[in-house]
Structure 1
Amino acid sequence: MKLKVCGMKYQENMQAVAELQPDYLGFIFYEKSPRNFDGDIPKLPDEIKKTGVFVDASIDFVIEKVKKHNFKVIQLHGNESSQYCRDLQSELECFSETESTESIEIWKVFSIKDQFDFEILEPYEGIVDYFLFDTKGKEKGGNGYTFDWSVLNNYPSETPFILSGGIGLDEIEKVKEILKTDLPIYAIDVNSKFETAPGLKNIEELKIFKEELNRMREG
C-alpha cells in the first residue's frame, strides 16, 4: 500500500515530510487552490515520486512543469477528456525517450459523493495508469471530508486506484476495513486533514498515520 501526501507548498515542510518516506509527494498547479505551488522543490530522495497536480491545464503547461521539476506522475484533477489523456501520454512518452528517463505515470481523478456512474471510466482504460477517487465538493480537492466508500463496492475495473478525500487519523479504522476487500487499491492519498494551514503539514500526525499504514502493509 503506497502513501501520497499532496498539497505541498513550503520547502522546510517538504523536507520534513520527505523524511517520513512517503511514496509520493504532490504539488498543485491551480491558481484557485490555497495550495497552489509556485516555487522550487528542494532535493528530495529519489525513491519519492514527485507528482504534479493539474486542473484543465494545457498540455504545454504540464510538459513545462515536468521539465522544470522532474515529475514522475501527472495527476489530472479537472474535466480532462480521454483524448486529452491520450495526447498527454504521447507527449510524456516522447519526453521520457528524449531524456532517457523512466516513464511518467498518469492518474485521472474522478469525484464521488453518494453515487457514481462507473461507465465514465471506460474511455480512459488503457490510457491512464491509475484512477483516483476523491470527494466531490466545492473545491477541487482538499475539501476535508470523505465520500461514501461503499460506492466502490461496485467498481468494475481491474485498473488499480488511489483512495483520496478527507482521510485523516480518524479514518484509520475505515481504511483498515476497506483494505480487507478485494478492491484494487494502490495507494492512500492524504492532504487537508493533516494540515495546520493550507499546504503546511503536521509532521507528528503524518508520522502516526504512516506507522499505521505500515502495520496494515505488514498485516
Structure 2
Amino acid sequence: MKLKICGMKYPDNMLEVGLLLPDYMGFIFWQKSARYFDGEMPDLPKSIKKTGVFVNESIQGIEEKVIKYDLQAIQLHGQESVAFCSEIKTKFGASVEIIKVFSADENFDFSVLEPYESVCDYFLFDTKGKLPGGNGTTFDWKILENYPSSKPFFLSGGIGIEELDSVAAILKTDLPIYAIDVNSKFEIEPGLKNINLVRTIRELSLRENK
C-alpha cells in the first residue's frame, strides 16, 4: 500500500511530513478550496511524487503548474472528459502520472470507468459530496466489490484514524488498491497536517507493505 497525503499548504509542514516519506504529496490548485496552494514549495525528498490536484482546469493551466512545481502526478477531480485525459496523457507521456477521480455512492455506475482505462494511470474513488473533495466523509466501500477493472486505484474519502481497522481489512481483499489518500481527518486546520496522526498512518502503510 502506498500513501498519499493531500491538501498540503504550508512549507514548514510539507518538510515535516516529507521526513516521513509518504509516496505522494498532494497540492490543491483549485482556488475555491480552503487548501488552495499557490506559494513556494520547499525541496522535498525525491522519492515523493508531487501531485497537482485540479478541478476542470485548462490544459494550459495544468501545464503551467507541472512546470512551475515539477509535478510527477496530476489528479483530475472535476468532470474531465476522456478526450481531455487523452490530450493530457499525450502531452506529458510517461513523465507524469494521471489519476482520474470519481465520486462514489451506492448508485455509482462502474461502466463509466471503461473509456478512461487507456488514458489514465490510476483511478481514485472519493465520497460524493457538495465539494469535489475534502468532504471528510467515507462512502460504503462494499460497492467496490463490483469494481470490474484491474486498473489500480487510490482509496479516498474521509479516511481518519477511526477508519484504519477498516482500511486494513479492505487491503486484505483482492481489490487492486494501489494507495490510500488522506486529507482532512489528519489536520489541525485546513492544509496543516497533524504530524503525529500522519506518522500513525505512515507506520500502517509500511506494515502493510511487508
TM-score of Structure 1 vs Structure 2, range by shorter chain: over 0.9
Look up the equivalent residue of 1:157 and give its one-letter code.
Answer: S
Look up the equivalent residue of 2:100 and give its one-letter code.
Answer: K
Deviations 1:41-95 (A, max 9, x none): 10001000000000000000000100100000000000000000001111113xx
Distance, in Å, in 2 between the alignment partners of 1:143 and 1:39 is 24
Q: What's the counterpart of residue 215 of structure 1?
A: 207
> Equivalent of 1:107, from 93, 99, 111?
99
Q: CA deviation at 1:115?
A: 2.8
Q: CA deviation at 1:208?
A: 1.1
Deviations 1:121-154 (A, max 9, x none): 1110111000000001111111111100000000
**Structure 1 residue matching 2:34: 3-state secondary structure:** coil
The answer as to 2:126 corresponding to 1:147 is: no
Structure 1, unaligned runs of 5 or more:
94-101
**Structure 1 residue matching 2:95: 3-state secondary structure:** coil
Q: What's the counterpart of residue 44 of structure 1?
A: 44
> Equivalent of 2:190, from 193, 198, 202?
198
The alignment's C-alpha RMSD in Å is: 0.8
Look up the equivalent residue of 1:61 and give its one-letter code.
Answer: G
The answer as to 2:84 corresponding to 1:84 is: yes
The answer as to 2:118 corresponding to 1:126 is: yes
Q: CA deviation at 1:114?
A: 2.1
The TM-score with structure 1 as length reference comes to 0.94
Look up the equivalent residue of 2:79 and give its one-letter code.
Answer: N
The percentage of counterpart residues that share the same residue type is 60
Q: CA deviation at 1:203?
A: 0.1
Distance, in Å, in 1 between the alignment partners of 2:183 and 2:3 is 11
Look up the equivalent residue of 1:113 and give its one-letter code.
Answer: D
Structure 2, unaligned runs of 5 or more:
none
Distance, in Å, in 1 between the alignment partners of 2:15 and 2:202 is 16
Deviations 1:169-212 (A, max 9, x none): 11111011101110000000000000110000000011011112
Q: CA deviation at 1:217?
A: 1.9
Distance, in Å, in 2 between the alignment partners of 1:126 and 1:17 is 33
Distance, in Å, in 1 between the alignment partners of 2:32 and 2:134 is 12
The TM-score with structure 2 as length reference comes to 0.98
Distance, in Å, in 2 between the alignment partners of 1:217 and 1:182 is 15
**Structure 1 residue matching 2:206: 3-state secondary structure:** helix
Distance, in Å, in 1 between the alignment partners of 2:205 and 2:92 is 31
Look up the equivalent residue of 1:74 and give its one-letter code.
Answer: I
Count of residue correspondences: 210
Structure 1 runs (4+) greater than 6 angstroms displaced:
none
Distance, in Å, in 2 between the alignment partners of 1:145 and 1:135 is 7
Q: Note the 1:37-76 alignment, pairs <5 A.
A: 37-76=37-76
**Structure 2 residue matching 1:34: 3-state secondary structure:** coil
